[in-house]
Amino acid sequence: MSARIEQFLKDRIGLDAASIGPSVIGAAVRQRITATGSDGAAGYWDRLSTSTTEQQALIEAVVVPETWFFRYPESFQLLARLALSRAATLTAGRKLRLLSLPCSTGEEPYSMAMALLDAGVPATSFEIDALDISARVLEVAQKGVFRANSFRADDLTFRARYFTGGEDGFLLNSAVRAQVRFRTANLLEAAPAADHSYDFIFCRNLLIYFDLETQLAALARLERLLHPQGILFAGPAEASLLTGNGLKPLGEPRTFAFAAREASNEMATRREPKAPPPVRSPLPAAPARTAFAGVKPAFAQAARPAQPKAEASDPAAAEMLQAISRHADRGERDAALALCEGYLQKFGPAADIFCWLGLLNDAAGQVRAAEGYYRKALYLEPQHAEAKAHMAALRAFHNPASGGGRR
């Protein structure tokens, strides 16, 4: 049953089960079995196989949005500068076109709109398409009412300018909402717009949920949507995938912004017309490959993930994490994996747990699964030192000549 569900999710939305863990999918399935009153797993599979409504419901149960306004603020600062400059070069009647996908509950596309308005780009000069596979999150986005969890940025002055507080939360200004057009769409299916139509695309922390084959297909689709002089904003854990496949980063710290391939080629030609293609710099010195007792040398104390924040306030979380460490050190991989999945089910996603899952799979030679878990850890905590180090070590170990590019 679990294998069939995982294959269904991969076929429909490109989800690599290893990127979120079987326990998360299992919990979503159990939730839907209860909600539909199905006769166990077999009965639920029969319902899922014949009901497009239930297929969408399962997808929405699995896709858990994690977003807030002005996440990675440097990206929006760069967007504002580039958009203001580009808007001045457009011919009459041509608007800047921006895309956010997956847009989740709307914080990202609305942040894009506010950033442009704050920069002085007229509302009549740009439009934003916001796409997501989940109709449920789009309904939330269109209402424009947000609670405290959506406001996690250090600078919240934008809230006073664009929101009105009330009993239900903060209502976004109608002028900002009018700049964004929401629509249900799947990047891997029908193209959401004409080719090469978007000046700026934000597609952050989507590719980390795919296996390598699906990542490359999704990246090819994004490139077809991007204007020849456009800019693609990715998530921090996805940057190596883009650079490894020929896209050029703009070099602005913490923006994770990449020029369209054609623009990258033109820039390189203008800078060094007679020079050969640059040789890729090697990765920084990677830590030694580590694993667990019974497989390779015992796991080094310095390489262990730090314990999650839950430990400070929840003794049960601390005890479970210590048990994971004990089993890993003894080479008891299955027991450590089971505890990791139990932790996720009980306490929710945690970067350190995903890092453990990455290491446990890494030690067993499950390269793709390990990379998926490291990406998940970096999605939750972009500066997670252990996940970054082990991701670099994994890439260098399996493709040392290219410095971690396409495998």
Strands 257-259, 248-249: pairing kind: antiparallel
In terms of CATH architecture, what is 301-398?
Alpha Horseshoe (1.25)
**Cβ distance 102 to 133 under 8 Å?**
yes
Domain map (residue ranges) of the chain: 2-62, 73-271, 301-398
Q: Does domain 73-271 have CATH number 3.40.50.150?
A: yes
Instruction: Classify each residue of 187-211 as buried b or exposed e, where b means 16 or more C-beta atoms within 10 Å of its C-beta.
Output: beeeebeeeebbbbbbbbbbbbbbb
Query: How confident is the prediction along the chain (407 residues), in pLDDT tens digits per residue?
Result: 688 898 888 888 888 887 777 778 888 899 999 999 998 889 999 999 999 889 888 888 887 667 899 998 999 999 999 999 999 888 878 899 999 999 999 999 999 999 999 999 999 999 999 999 888 899 999 999 999 999 988 899 999 999 999 999 999 999 999 999 999 988 887 555 666 789 999 999 888 888 888 889 999 999 999 999 999 999 887 887 888 888 899 988 889 999 988 654 544 444 444 333 333 323 233 333 333 333 332 233 334 444 444 444 578 888 888 888 877 766 778 888 888 888 887 887 888 888 888 888 877 777 778 888 888 888 788 878 778 877 777 766 555 444 333 33
Query: What span, in angstroms and rounded, lies between the C-alpha atoms of 52 and 166?
Result: 37
Nearest to 360 by CA among 324, 392, 386: 324
Query: What span, in angstroms and rounded, lies between the C-alpha atoms of 194 and 200?
Result: 14
Give the list of residues 6+ apart from residue 85 with CB closer than 8 angstroms, or none: none
Give the list of residues 6+ apart from residue 66 with CB closer than 8 angstroms, or none: 104, 205, 349, 379, 380
